[in-house]
Amino acid sequence: MQLTLGFSPCPNDTFIFDALVNKKIDTEGMDFDVMLEDVETLNRWALKGKLDVTKLSFPAFFQSIHDYVLLNSGSALGKGVGPLLITRNDPGIKKDEIEEASIALPGVNTTANLLFGFAYPHARNKNFMIFSAIENAVLTGQTDLGVIIHENRFTYQQKGLHKIVDLGEYWEQKMNVPIPLGAIAMKRKFENTVLRKVDGLIRKSLEYGLANYPLITDYVKHHSQEMSEQVMRQHIDLYVNNYSVDLGADGKAAIETLYGVYKKMKMAEPLESHPLFLVSSA
């Protein structure tokens, strides 16, 4: 069986999927047509139901639950892994000033946008752009503030930028659950045996990578050409953890909490009633 598979070129995703897409593990008769794109492109595709298996942000998943079910392996959750609100000027800027400022965010359907809205519900002057352009937009004054994700967490200080608030820490303090950032989901139309097989293959692929870590493979390096190996490892260490191997009860509870906040914020309506999670085999 051949399936379309989408994920980002970020080191945590390429690390997770390397062994699967390059057949370093037995793929049990499954073949994957792989598309690497930034997460907001994958979010837009998910809303159109384009791919069979895809990485996507949780708000995009919540909007497409009629098409997709969340797999148990491959997602990005954790503590201390949230997006950062940054400035080039005064990190002591007040809340009312933040809500009046222009803010660059990495896509309307991203978890970063949801977490920013959770912390600053009255901010309206938002500019959406690809995540890798936000640091420069803040540096050049194209926007007053920016919300950064991925490897930019490790580079913004080197560029003279300042953190105002860690939006992940704010979420953790208010909700007392880990931060759900990115999901791996698959089309509901497939039989449970196929869903569970793909879920199991993703887990095996990740476990293969972990067994060989801290090796950074050529596949990961190829798609992270502008990063040093140190930054790649920082990225993997931050975003790949026990929740990536299996969501578990804590991970699922955190996702359900985020879903509840999402619905209260009325970021998309109507929201259809479907089970969020893949039912594991007995």
What contacts 144, CB < 8 A, 6 or more positions away?
87, 101, 102, 103, 138
Tell me the torsion sign for CA atoms 27, 2, 33, 66: negative
Q: Which entry of 122, 150, 222, 235 is annotated as an active-site residue?
A: 150
Is 223 known to be catalytic?
no
Angle of helix 111-119 relative to helix 248-264, nearest 10 degrees, comes to 60
Torsion on CA atoms 119, 43, 159, 144, rounded to nearest 10: -50
What contacts 146, CB < 8 A, 6 or more positions away?
85, 86, 87, 103, 104, 105, 134, 135, 137, 138
Residue listed under structure tokens 């497409």: 64
Catalytic residues: 150
